[in-house]
Amino acid sequence: MERIVILDFGAQYNQLIARRVREQGVYSELLPPMSSVERIRGEALSGVILSGSPDSVYAEDGRRCLPEVFSLGVPVLGICYGMQLMTHMLGGTVEKAPVREYAGVTAHFGSSPLFDGMPDSTVWMSHNDMVTRVPEGFAAAAHTADCPIAAMQDESRRLYAVQFHPEVAHTEYCAKFFENFVHGICGCAGGWSPEGLVSELVDDIRARVGERKVVAGLSGGVDSSVAAALVSRAIGDRLTCIFVDHGLLRKNEADEVMHFYRENMGLNVIEVDAREYFLTQLAGVTEPERKRKIIGESFVRVFEREAKKIGGAELLLQGTIYPDVIESGTGGASVIKSHHNVGGLPEKFGFELLEPLRPFFKDEVRAIGEALGMPKELVWRQPFPGPGLGIRVLGEITEEKLTILRESDWILRDEIKKAGLDRAVWQYFTVFTGMRSVGVMGDSRTYDYTIAVRAVVSTDAMTVEFAELPHKLLRRISNRIIAEVPHVNRVVYDITDKPPGTIEWE
């Protein structure tokens, strides 16, 4: 099997590199940076990629790899920190950059198999340090206005490196770059697919679970649904799904989700009404991280209670995907926000976790769902976070605020669907901001709440851009929310990308 190893130095986008390789039909695997040569080689090795990192190569605690990595006989690609580390370990010079680049910049490419078919174009930069002298045997292969050595190569040893991030969608020729490396330089033929992956995942689940029972936390979203379908195929009726109505769902969501699971997927699902329990736990809480952790722990406690009723399941199935993991600060990356199913879990609980989708992105999860034969309506369902509306009400959560939020969100979803944009827009929702402002309604002064509308486009949730919705549609959404939802007199539209923002507000 063709296989490319990514050595993970703790970058936010390290799994995105793996995803780009898999898009080229080649299996990829992330390994710790100091992995042994034997583990890196494995049964087959076609190439190695060194990821980015928040570290500096000249810091004492900067992460390293074994020097043997550069003499394995396969191509090696360094990305950002990976380029700086390659330079540092092979005798070049890395220094503080006089101008810190952070954004899309124009790169000018020289002659290199990395850049075949790529004209000068926009790349995504994010760095404080830069290479000022390449190691012996290397030549510069690209530059930008503020980075004279934006890429380098030693073709005789098949060592390549770029200062920019080719893995993010902001790099204009992202797919072409990885086609050049994976197929052109590493010589891979491709052929790895989601259909083949399903068989591997099902076999792995069977081996992991054995004869034990599993409970699944179903949220109604794509990730937990695909995870449940996978495990159901692997172990059959030893899977019991639990759908928790935590009082933070969208309008009519509980009824819709339960009907869909039972009628369309044939899953054994138990519905638990825990609205009072969750809202009591969240009473008076305003800090976003604390909200997420309370919600995460409350879910686990409900699952523990229900597992005892059905005969003591030992494993808890979660639909955790890679963006959840990386934003929660695992693997050496910085904490952005603790997802309820990762950083929000309590330290001690009575389950072994089963998370078969943990290495994958949302679009890959959808591909797995389609390969499983799941209904397209569920596979392409609007993403909805496990903490639900709890992270879309800024500040303290109350029933009044949730009602306002549910009604405004219902209107937004209705208008997006009527406009035929429900598949074109990645995610869309409203936010109860807690802000109040003066308005005029019916010739009288009002002092009521502001609702924010958030709509984004993305493929993987790691980077997103705000959706440029038609102005007439935005006007209809605003007019309906103000006319139909009590205590709202202003609607604003969030035009922030990720980064620097995140998809959710909390």
Structure tokens at 329: 């600060």
Q: Which of 165, 170, 246, 339 is catalytic?
A: 165
Q: Which of 2, 23, 101, 167 is catalytic?
A: 167
Q: Exposure string (b/e) for 105-116, b if CB count within 10 Å is 16 or more?
A: bebebeebebbe
Backbone angles phi, psi at 433, to 5 degrees: -80, -25
Neighbour count for residue 430 (Cβ, 10 Å): 27
8 Å CB contact between 269 and 224: no
CA dist., res. 5 & res. 459, Å (int)? 23
CA dist., res. 35 & res. 51, Å (int)? 14
Strands (E), 147-276: 151-154, 159-162, 214-218, 239-245, 269-273
CA dist., res. 160 & res. 119, Å (int)? 18
Q: Which amino acid is at 439?
A: G
8 Å CB contact between 222 and 379: yes
CA dist., res. 373 & res. 284, Å (int)? 44
Total residue count of the chain as it appears in this document: 506
8 Å CB contact between 326 and 15: yes
Write down the residue that tokens 């910049």 correspond to. Answer: 105
**Sign of torsion, CA 425 429 433 438?**
positive
Strands (E), 341-414: 352-354
Q: Report DSSP state, residue 506.
A: -
Q: Is 80 a catalytic residue?
A: yes
CA dist., res. 112 & res. 185, Å (int)? 10
**Sign of torsion, CA 263 266 268 274?**
negative
Q: Is 167 a catalytic residue?
A: yes
Q: How much of the chain is helix, strand and coil, in % rounded to 5? A: 35, 25, 40
CA dist., res. 134 & res. 71, Å (int)? 18
Q: Verify cis geometry, omega within 30 degrees of 0, for the bond prior to 54.
A: no
Q: Which of 2, 23, 65, 80 is catalytic?
A: 80
* Burial class of residue 186 (count of CB atoms within 10 Å of its CB; 0-12, 13-18, 19+): buried
3-class SS at 312? coil
3-class SS at 188? coil
Q: Which positions are catalytic?
A: 80, 165, 167
